[in-house]
Homo-oligomer: A and B are copies of this chain.
């Protein structure tokens, strides 16, 4: 008989709800104890169901990266949303304006005057104020102002312009521990204070540094996504154990062309080509001899030892390198509840590129 893990058509993304719930609650307790507001990023699960669980556990609000994600979560009841992205262009600004009307508090980030001026022009006559945080580049080398002086300039601009309100500072720190984010934020808050500008919030985040999340006398809020499912990148960093990994790709061996090569029905259209600095495309559970050495769109190629028992028809489970991007590849996940029953659930905000 073939090895069957779950009665699902493969490839499938299966989420153990008990593990996900435990991950939500454990980090909520960490933030409560640390005196940090927790603002989970929905990009990992893209799901109304899990957004609700995060809010019920005590989250202060949610983080989205796209207006399309925020619209879906707002319709489902999320009423305090931060979109951590520079919003530009007439169509997006119009959607942002509509979104602000239907929730209690909407905030965005900005790192340049063009963005801030567009936001102000849109919200100048709005019944609601848009909260704008200044994004600071503290080492991740993506968006963000480069110096506290630049942050001050933008905060002043926000304070000057109508329709928008300065809501504080935001950074997405580099994945490795560093004193730069703390120092940058301390210096900026001091400069703001010297200029008579109050800084309501200082928001940082990231799953890689989750267990050292603390206010350090500056930070007020932590944004985090991957922690709900975890993945191979967190496993390899020692942030979680295999038993904390709630999301697994169930895939079927479709071929064993040689003694040491298996082919599975999960390729880059499922596992994605994200390496995140690692070798191979996922952690094969139960088979330490197996490594996913290559992916094409619908095939995964595994190197195994010659005595590996897997044959065509057998299922295996893979903890993906980067689970957020894998959530985006499926129209639905399969949830396993505490009674081990399995049921499909739509990924509500999958594929929201705008």
Q: Which of A240-257 contact B (CB under 8 A)?
A: 252, 254-257
Does A331 lie at the interface of the complex (its beta carbon under 8 Å from any beta carbon of B)?
Answer: yes
Interface size for A (C-beta < 8 A) is 57
Does A143 lie at the interface of the complex (its beta carbon under 8 Å from any beta carbon of B)?
Answer: yes
C-alpha spacing A313/B329, complex, angstroms: 29
Does A269 lie at the interface of the complex (its beta carbon under 8 Å from any beta carbon of B)?
Answer: yes
> Does A312 contact B112, Cβ atoms closer than 8 Å?
yes
Does A325 lie at the interface of the complex (its beta carbon under 8 Å from any beta carbon of B)?
Answer: yes
Q: Which of A309-338 contact B (CB under 8 A)?
A: 311-313, 324-325, 328-331
> Does B329 contact A254, Cβ atoms closer than 8 Å?
no
> Does B65 contact A297, Cβ atoms closer than 8 Å?
yes
Contact of A353 among B11, B92, B294 (CB under 8 A): B11
Does A145 lie at the interface of the complex (its beta carbon under 8 Å from any beta carbon of B)?
Answer: yes
Residues of B within 8 A of A258 (CB): 146
Query: Nearest CB to that of A91 among chain B residues?
Result: B9
Contact of A142 among B263, B272, B274 (CB under 8 A): B263
Shortest Cβ gap from A261 to chain B (Å): 7
Interface string of A8-47 (1 = CB under 8 A from B): 0111000000000000000000000000000000010000
Residues of B within 8 A of A88 (CB): 252, 254, 265, 312-313
Shortest Cβ gap from A37 to chain B (Å): 23
> Does B89 contact A252, Cβ atoms closer than 8 Å?
yes
Contact of A114 among B114, B141, B261, B313 (CB under 8 A): B313
Q: Could you tell me which A residues sit within 8 Å of B by CB distance? A: 9-11, 43, 65-66, 85-86, 88-89, 91-92, 111-112, 114-115, 137, 141-146, 252, 254-258, 261, 263, 265, 268-270, 272-275, 294, 296-299, 301, 311-313, 324-325, 328-331, 351, 353-354
